[in-house]
Each structure stands twice: as C-alpha cells, then as structure tokens.
Amino acid sequence: MSIRQNQVPLKFEPSRIDSKWQSKWAEDNLYKVNNDSDKPKWYEMTMYPYPSGDLHIGHWYAFSPSDCHARFRRMQGYNVLHPIGFDAFGLPAENAAINRGIHPKTWTMQNIETMREQLQSLGAIYDWNREVICCDPEYYEWNQWIFLKFYEQGLAYKQKAPVVWCPSCQTVLANEQVVNGCCERCDTVITRRDLEQWFLKITDYAEELLDFEGLIEWPEKILTMQRNWIGKSEGVEIQFGLLNSENALISEQTITTFTTRIDTIFGVTFMAIAPEHPLVESLTTKENSIDVKKYIEQSKKISEIERMSTDKVKTGQKVGSFALNKFTNEKIPIYIADYVLPNYGTGAVMGVPAHDERDFVFANKYSLDVKRVVSETGNEDQNMSEAYVGNGIMINSKTYDGISNFEAKELLAKDIEKKKWGKKTTSFRIRDWLVSRQRYWGTPIPMVECSKCGIQPVAISDLPILLPDDAEFKPSGESPLKTSIDFVNTVCPKCFGPAQRETDTMDTFFDSSWYMYRYLNPKYKEAPFDNKLVKSWMPVDQYTGGAEHAVMHLLYARFFTKALRDMGLVDFGEPFLRLFNQGIILGQDHEKMSKSRGNVINPDDVVTGMGADAVRVFLMFIGPWDQGGPWSNVGINGIARWLNRVWTITTEKYELGSETMINQQTTDELAKTLHKTIKKVYEDLDKFKFNTAIAQLMEFSNYLNKTLNTKAVDPLVWNSCVRSFLLMFAPIAPHLAEELWEINGYKYSIHSESFPIWNEELISENVITMIVQVNGKVRDKIETAIGMEESAVKSLALMSSKIQAHIDGKTINKVIYVPDRLINIVI
C-alpha cells in the first residue's frame, strides 16, 4: 500500500517542507508555552495515547483536528496549552513481555521513542517540555501520594471482591480478556475467585457526579450515559418476616428488599434473593439443601457466560422457607434466583409478577400466582399475558384501593416508616471503583501489611515505592510483585517490625484521572502539581477524545477532582469544562479498520508521499469530526490538487500588464468574498466544523484563481487577500502555510500571527435574488434591491412572464412575503 496509483504529483516537496519547519519550530521553541502571559489562557487537551508502538491513522484522526482547533485558539489571541503524553502503564506491555521475553519497561520505552517521532510528524503545537509518561517514577510517585491522601480521607479501603480467573493460565483476567465466557488466550472457561482488593469510594460522590452544573459544554449523549451508569433510583426498603414451612417465625430476623414500586406491595407473590445472599444458608430447609447447593454452584459457573450470550433466561430454586408480607399477612415462597444481583439494592427482590416483566417470566416458569394490584383504566382482568408496568388506579390493595398508584407510593412509604417496617431510600447502580490489579506493569499500591499493626500506609517520605525490575511477571496465579523478595519484605512504618508490602498495582485509570494537573509541570518535586500553575491553567477549557471513555475515564477524572477539592487541594469541582467526542475513522470499505479485514491505512506511507498537511486536511475534510467517516486513497487526491492550486495562487507573480484595467466592481466583490470567507471559516473552526471551513477556503481559492486570470484588481488588494488566505490556512496546514508565508516575504512565523477579522459592513448585500414561488413552487428568480416593500416586489413578480404563465388569470388568494428572501403567490 506504499505506492498509490494515479497519485497527483505535487508542485512542492512535502517531506522537505515538513522537516524543514518541524526542526525550525523545535529549534526556536516556537510552541513552548509561557506560564506568565498577559493573554487569556486556553487549556486544550486531547486524550493521551497508549504507546502501542505504532501511530495509526486513528491517532491522526484524533490529534490533527484537535491541534488545528488549538492553533486556531492560539491565533485568536489565547495563550494555549496543548500538551501530549503517554498512557504508559497497562496490560499490552505485560503481554508483549510474556510473549516475547522483553521487559515491559524496555518495550514501553522503545514504543514511546518511535511514537514520539511519529507524533512529531503531525507538526502539532505540543509543548514537549510538558510531556507526561505515567510509567515514569517521577509520575507514579504522585499516584502513590494521592492514594495515601485518599486513604487518609477514608476514600480508599480494602475488601474481598471476586475477580475473573483463568484456571489454565493461572491468572486474573480483565473483562476485555474474556470472550464468550472463555479466556481469550487459551479458550478455557473462566471462573471467579474472591480476593482482598483495594477500592476507591466513588459512591460517596454518586449524587454529586449527577450534577453537571459546573460543565459548560458536554455532549448530551455523554451526560446521559453517565446518568445511566450512576443509575440513581428512589424507592423504599421494606422488611419481610421469615417463616419456616410450619408457619412458625424462624427468628426475630427479617429480610429487607428494595423496591421502586412499593405501590405493588399487595401484589407480591414470591421473594427472590441472590444466590450469594448471606441468609441463603439459614433459609434453606433440609429437603431443599442439595438442590440449593447445586443451584449456587451452577450460577457461579454459568452466570457470566449466560449473561453474555442469552437473553432473559430466568431460573431459580426454592429454598423451603417463606417470607411474611406484613401488609397482607400472606406467606410467600422464597427462591434463590441469579437474576437477582447481590450488589444492587439489598440483594433481595419482592416478586410482583403482575407488574414487573422479569418477575412475570419467573412466575410463569415456576407456576406462581399473578395478582394484579394496579389497574390500567379499569382493566381488572387477572389473566395477564404480560406484566403491566405502567401506572393506574390501585385495586386489591385494601385501604389503598381507588387512589392513583403515585399517591399510594407516597402513602405507603409514610405508613412503612411510621410502622418501622422500613424506610424511603435511594439506590445507586454505580459501585465503588476497584483499583487493585494483580499485575506487574502498574503503580505499586503504597501499603504495608504488618502482622502486629495490620494494614499500614507507607510514609509519604518513603515515596516513591519503586516497581522492582526483578519481578517474575509470567503468570503464576499470584500478583507478580510477590516474586520480588526485596520488594515484598519491608519494615512496618508504625512498629518498625518486619512487614510485607502490598503487591497489587493500580488500575491505569488512576493515572489518567489526574494527568491534566501533571502536564502543567511534570517535573515538579514538591507535590503532584504546582498550585500556582493549577490556579492559572485549570480547569481544562476543552477536552477532546473518543466517546468510548464516556463513563469510566471521564467519571473517574470528575471524581478525582471533587475529592481533591474536598481535601482542599484545588478549588473547583470539574476538571473538563467542555468536551468534544470525535468519531471513528473507517477503512476504504466503510468498515472498521482491522488487520483481519486488511483495510488498515498506514499514515506514515501517506505522509511520506504527500506530506503531513495533506493528511491533516483530508481527515478534517471527509465529514463532521464527531461522525467519523471512511478514508479514501482516491479522495485525498482532491486535497493534493487543492494544495497545488494554493501553491500556484500564492506563489505566482501578480503584476498588472500594460493593458490590464483595474475594475472597481471586481475589487469590491473580491473584498466581499474575502470577508464572507473569514466569517465562515472563523465560526466553523470555532465549533469544530472543519469540513465546511475547508470547503469555504476551497471556494475562496477558486475565486482567487479566477482573479489571478483576470488581474482586474490592484496588486496591493491581491496581496492582502493572499495574506489573509494564508492566515486562515495556517491552523489547517501549518507546514505549507509557513513555507508560503516565507515565500511571500512575510516575517517568520505565521504561527505567531493573529487570525483575520471580518468586517460585517463589507459582507452586507445591496442586491439580492428574490425567489418567486407560485403555490410554494419556485417559478422565477428576480434581482431586487435590499429592503424592498412587499407591494413593489409583488408587482415586479407579477410582471414576470414565467409567473404570468402559472397564474394565467386565476385569482390570487394570498401572498406570502419574506423580506429579502422570497415571495409566494398562492392561487
């Protein structure tokens, strides 16, 4: 794919120009960002890449438009910080190490080397002095520092939690390593294991994370996804009594369920609890114990697989005991069922088949009663073919009959609280963030376990806790750090006796939750970030990146900033004020790019042949940035042609011949076109509408081309048009713009210039094309002066022979007049 057929030859040497300016900019520190500036600040960030070792076209699609936007802000007069770094910890490094025997550190650092070079070929305004590499101890030391702060605040805690386990590889798997319930590497069916693991209490912030007030401009789609992810629902917790099969109360104990539909309490016909529920054992009667055990075993194994592949198979197992509905005094059977999740609500569900789809399916399968208690407009039929989940009037609910179910919800909740049977409560879907990874290539969690003092935090003065080089990271069934004796054996920070280090490492989302602070001064030694710089630069004004990070990364980052704020470390609550999500670049076949499809485009090949600017411009031109779109080897030729034309227009000698006449009208028209162009390009770049901005510039260059042929304007006017054009071109095609700026004899650098400003007066028209419609259909167009009266336009329109032909003596019922736009004659 390195040689494309029918490639349009360029009039300039792109590789020469690219490297010429890239090295000049670097030498001059042109893009070094000054922290002290009179200009207003603009912090524009793009999500940093994982150093996979190869910069693919998707990276170009993410980075070149964001660079263009940052450059535009720069030319608008902002002091712009547009940093880049590497998300350098993570699984692929460890996999490469396991497969190829290279140390993860070596592999990662080599990849960063090559990717840094590839990134430089973009010609972006990155300030490389601020590069962040999070596998560097200089960075992860502060991960540990922040972790200790979280621990101090009670936001970090250790608890048993299940992990996905591959019995064959003897290793913990990440969710994405599980394919159809099997290990992606060896295809073995996975199981689960309970391990003591570290969590961050993001749930403390669940309510506040739902508040998006502090954000200026985020896509509604992302907010919805975050809302759903947090999953707030308000309901009632209510206790049920417990009976054995002889109707005797088992104990004073009760079982609590959470429901959002307390209005259906009279329709409860069974209770379903999670197989993991703590009361399962005590509720299981002798005659059911074998079956219950079997069901629990089975759900442990199958649940994950079933969940992924099948839809809504509801199974359960009777435990033998009964629950007592305190409102009806009815005795209802208790089941364990894997559709009830142990970690949501109370892990127990009151089954109301008539008004819940899942309960309905379950009741059908086990022949349980269906009892309708909410009536949809008078329908009291008890033979239901499906659950009725809507609202209505209460029936079969004793004293609550006849009122709306909304009202009943309120009354019942109050009643329950009065009787002390339960309480109103709010439930969240979001769970605490599990940050422990049983992996080598990550930040060591700075904790120590002492047999005398228990879990102890490492002293801040002992940071960083370095990742040892000698750990065996090949899978063994334990955290790899356990194999480094020197690492594990340490001294208790409290009693100075022998102790062991925590051997889990941190989730890489920990790194990316605060890297925006570190960019400000990645070398800062006193703290994770320099407060003075945080005050002047944060929060990030514009963040761009893929929508795949809608919930995890973006939610974690918001949580971090709120937690840091509550510790008094920052004084704002949102890290990213504006967010824009780019789409996905597709292959030429309109399919997602993948090696197996063979439709991958290697940007290096194209850049070598056509230059960075051609690639940048094409990627921005194919369509709206947030929609993504297909690459095209043929389509990029159009860009090459355009760049050639730009080259010609801006380098050709413009001189008036002896017989050339300067035409005032042509000059005025050119000025108007220029100013219209400036307005359109300015407004489009502002809103990330690169495709239409470029289209407008193309139109303008076509117009300039015509002017070049007629030479009917003064050379001074011509030169100022070329100058303005180049300035608009600069953020889009920075190398070529700089070269042409130099050829035209302007002072280096174009990238230190301001974006042109348009003059609204020059844009206003005095003659417009009036559309004349008959019955809403365009029949003629007439030139009229601006601001013409309706009556005048009407008589002009009626004079048109084309219009006459359509009216043809019929009576005019009505005339719609839109000033300076159209007139519609209705007959």
Partner RNA sequence: GCCGAGGUGGCGGAAUGGUAGACGCGGCGGACUUAAAAUCCGUUGCCCUUUAAAGGCGUGUGGGUUCGAGUCCCUCCCUCGGUACCA
* Residue numbers 509-568 binding RNA by CB under 7 A: 547-548, 550-551
- Which 196-235 positions form the footprint of RNA (CB under 7 A)? 220-221, 224-225, 228, 231, 233, 235
* CB contact at 8 A, 777 and 791: no
Q: Cβ closer to RNA: 43 or 621?
A: 621
Interface characters, 375-404, with RNA (x: CB under 7 A): ------------------------------
Interface characters, 7-36, with RNA (x: CB under 7 A): -xx---------------------------
Interface characters, 785-804, with RNA (x: CB under 7 A): -----------------x--
DSSP character at residue 121: T
Q: Cβ closer to RNA: 251 or 260?
A: 260
CB of 349 vs RNA, minimal distance in Å: 4
Rounded to whole angstroms, how far apart are CA atoms 394 and 373?
6
Size of the site for RNA (CB under 7 A): 90
Closest C-alpha among 251, 257, 289 to residue 271? 257
Q: Cβ closer to RNA: 18 or 237?
A: 237
Rounded to whole angstroms, how far apart are CA atoms 140 and 143?
5
Closest C-alpha among 119, 111, 128 to residue 612? 119
CB of 339 vs RNA, minimal distance in Å: 4
Q: Is the peptide bond before 539 cis (omega within 30 degrees of 0)?
A: yes
CB of 628 vs RNA, minimal distance in Å: 7
Pull the structure tokens for residue 119.
């990134």
CA of 426: how far to CAs of 204, 352, 418, 451, in Å?
Answer: 13, 20, 18, 39
- Which 105-144 positions form the footprint of RNA (CB under 7 A)? none
Q: Cβ closer to RNA: 286 or 312?
A: 312
Q: Cβ closer to RNA: 519 or 700?
A: 700
- Which 612-651 positions form the footprint of RNA (CB under 7 A)? 621-624, 627, 629-630, 632, 634-635, 637-639, 641-642, 644-645
Pull the structure tokens for residue 250.
């088992």
Quick one: which of 775, 785, 786, 792 contacts RNA (CB under 7 A)? Answer: 775
* 694 near RNA, judged by CB under 7 A: yes
C-alpha dihedral (140, 144, 149, 155), degrees to nearest 10: 100
* 597 near RNA, judged by CB under 7 A: no
Q: Is the peptide bond before 19 cis (omega within 30 degrees of 0)?
A: no
Q: What's the CA angle centered on 67, arms 64 and 71, to 5 degrees?
A: 140
Q: Which residues contact 743 (CB under 8 A, 6 or more apart)?
A: 650, 651
Quick one: which of 26, 491, 662, 826 contacts RNA (CB under 7 A)? Answer: 826
Quick one: which of 1, 186, 290, 818 contacts RNA (CB under 7 A)? Answer: 818
Closest C-alpha among 526, 616, 536, 603 to residue 572? 536
CB of 779 vs RNA, minimal distance in Å: 5
Structural element, H or E, at residue 797: helix 790-799
- Which 311-330 positions form the footprint of RNA (CB under 7 A)? 311-314
CA torsion through residues 198, 203, 204, 208, sign? positive
Closest C-alpha among 390, 317, 323 to residue 357? 390
Interior/surface letters 343-366, b for 16+ CB within 10 angstroms, e for the rest:
ebbbbbbbbbbbbbebbbbbbeeb
Instruction: Kindly give the interhelix angle for 734-743 and 715-729, rounded to the nearest 10 degrees.
Output: 150
Q: Cβ closer to RNA: 402 or 776?
A: 776
Quick one: which of 52, 705, 720, 744 contacts RNA (CB under 7 A)? Answer: 705
Rounded to whole angstroms, how far apart are CA atoms 313 and 54?
44
* 477 near RNA, judged by CB under 7 A: no
- Which 671-690 positions form the footprint of RNA (CB under 7 A)? 689
- Which 408-427 positions form the footprint of RNA (CB under 7 A)? 427
CB of 81 vs RNA, minimal distance in Å: 29
- Which 744-773 positions form the footprint of RNA (CB under 7 A)? 769, 771, 773
Quick one: which of 32, 419, 535, 592 contacts RNA (CB under 7 A)? Answer: 592
CB of 60 vs RNA, minimal distance in Å: 16
- Which 340-379 positions form the footprint of RNA (CB under 7 A)? 340-342, 344-347, 349-350, 356, 358
Q: Cβ closer to RNA: 88 or 164?
A: 164
Rounded to whole angstroms, how far apart are CA atoms 333 and 359?
13
- Which 571-590 positions form the footprint of RNA (CB under 7 A)? 590
Strands 41-46, 542-546: pairing kind: parallel
> What residue ranges in 59-153 does DSSP mark as E strands?
79-81, 85-86, 132-133
Q: Cβ closer to RNA: 73 or 314?
A: 314
Q: Cβ closer to RNA: 87 or 338?
A: 338
Tally of helices (H runs) and strands (E runs) in the chain:
26, 33
Q: Cβ closer to RNA: 1 or 313?
A: 313
Q: Cβ closer to RNA: 53 or 635?
A: 635
- Which 255-314 positions form the footprint of RNA (CB under 7 A)? 258-261, 274, 303, 306-307, 311-314
Tell me the one-letter amino acid at 407.
E
Quick one: which of 691, 707, 724, 749 contacts RNA (CB under 7 A)? Answer: 691
CB of 445 vs RNA, minimal distance in Å: 26
Q: Cβ closer to RNA: 716 or 767?
A: 767
Tell me the one-letter amino acid at 356.
D
